[in-house]
Structure 1
Amino acid sequence: MSMSADTRDLDALLKGLTPGSRKKLAKQLGMALRVDTAKSIRQNIDSDGKKMTPRKRTSKRKGSKKYGKMFKKLSKTRSMRINATSNEVSIEFNAKKIPKTHHFGLRKKVGKNAFAKYPERTLLGFNDKRISLVKKRVLDHFTV
């Protein structure tokens, strides 16, 4: 079965639901995707499954605060907001500047006359695992 056939089947199932039921399903999908996204951010893995570009070391000392896992606060599910309606679901970060800078690999002012170019680290996105998670959750919703 091709991807478009899967989507047509899911669309047909979803059109049979009431708007309130679709919103409830969207909220459940958002929560499942938020947990999976937080897990991959915690492991410093991009949304496409590759390891993120590691943080540059700022100090020669091993006990430096800026060395180690990135996005410690962003990897918590409470730092991601779910917006669910009967037609769509979206996940966004409560903080806007830090995730945007890293997600798109932008330049940011770090001092009076200093700028830093951050590597692109894809924080939000879909991969095969998340697509199958969505399909499974939708089908589970109809079997319950």
Structure 2
Amino acid sequence: MNWGMIGAGVVMGIAAIGSAIGIGIAGQGAIGAWKRCYLNNKPAPFLLVVFAGAPLTQTIYGFLLMNTMRTSTADPLFLLGLGIACGLSMCMSAVAQGKAGAAGSDALAETGKGFAQYIMVVGLCETIALFSMVFGMIVC
């Protein structure tokens, strides 16, 4: 059994699980914010889609790292560990991003202000996944 190939698949799978959870959390926040806008006869900002979709990028990072790992000549058990560690960090980044996106949706829909500040926090959560991908690509 090639543990390195399992590690490559695991990084993609765990990152995608995190994206799904994060999108679910952020999507719930966006839908709730839109509902409040409709109930108050306020315009519902389409911009909330940005918050809801932000955690999707962790799946892309998992895919890119997976492709790098597939062609790696590193020790297969190292690649398995790398896949688990990077996948989990991307997963948690997506979950945190979903929570930040849900809060940003709520705040933006209520006030109509602060998009730049809210998206910066979402971007900070994104940075963890980017670091994991890049460091993973460097070491394998």
The answer, yes or no, to whether TM exceeds 0.5 is no
The structure carrying a bigger helix percent of its residues is 2
Higher relative contact order (CA 8 A, sep 6+): 2
Shorter-chain TM-score: which interval?
0.3 to 0.5
Please, what TM-score do these two structures have when normalized by structure 2? Answer: 0.36
Pair member with larger Rg: 1
The structure carrying a bigger strand percent of its residues is 1
